[in-house]
Amino acid sequence: MARFAAVHEAHATLASTRQVYPARAHLFHQGDIERGIHKIVSGTVTVYRVTADGHRQIEAFSGPGDYVSLCLCTTSPTSAEALSRVETNYVSREAFERRLLQEAQFRQTVFHEIDKASADARRQATLLACRCAKERVADFVLFLDSHFAPEADGYTPIRMSRCDMADHLGLTLETVSRMLNQFKQDGVIDMPRADRFSLKNRQYLKRLAGQNDEADRRHRRMAL
């Protein structure tokens, strides 16, 4: 999720305005003219597109530190919806692009983050094409654990609905619910409520999702 965290500090030097969105409000819609860049300060945003046949495909869940609508297109290819109350720092596209033209280091950093986002998209495509339902849900549980900080009770919050998860993973709502309940029954996760969990057997999920320590080390090195 923090795919654009590397430009976090750079954004602070740009003239930005604070914007607040209630839950289920849209930051922008698919097809809107790209007028600016949002950096999330608090809350969770789902980024999705609607296909020609009317199907909603969720591409990403973004949280604090993430950039939304960092796109080179003139119109937005996706929509962004607040899953909870969301605050963002918003900077005009003109100001952002002006700095891209003026500062080579900033330009290199942004292009690097766009390249990483493309790699994430390829990974998501592989997940949908080559992984079974159980493997997809295992991968997503690990994603939640690594990108959302535990709350005071020690449990990681689940900000999105089961339907949101299903649209992201290319599964049905019933399948997502069944897989999560199976992980709970098997002692892989502790889930006292539908909106929070903690990991009990991380290694099992990593094996199931096809992750390994060496891949994690490569990912961390790329993020430096």
Q: What pLDDT score was predicted for residue 28?
A: 94
Q: At what angle do helices 173-185 and 133-147 cross, to 10 degrees?
A: 70
Q: What pLDDT score was predicted for residue 122?
A: 84
DSSP single-letter state for residue 75: B
Q: What pLDDT score was predicted for residue 72?
A: 67
Q: Which CATH number is associated with domain 5-127?
A: 2.60.120.10
Residue 154 falls in which region: left (phi positive, over 0), alpha (psi -120 to 50) or beta: left
CATH 1.10.10.10 segments of the chain: 131-223
- Please check whether residue 168 is in contact with residue 140, taking contact to mean a CB–CB distance below 8 angstroms: yes
Locate 86 and state its tokens: 């969301």
b/e 6-38 (16+ beta carbons within 10 angstroms → b): bbeeebeebebeeeebeeeeebbeeeeebebbb
First to last CA, the chain: 15
pTM: 0.77
Q: Which amino acid, 85?
A: R
Residues of the chain with pLDDT under 70: 1-15, 72, 213-224
Q: What pLDDT score was predicted for residue 73?
A: 78
Q: Which CATH number fits domain 131-223: 3.40.50.10490, 1.10.10.10, 1.10.3720.10, 3.20.20.80?
A: 1.10.10.10
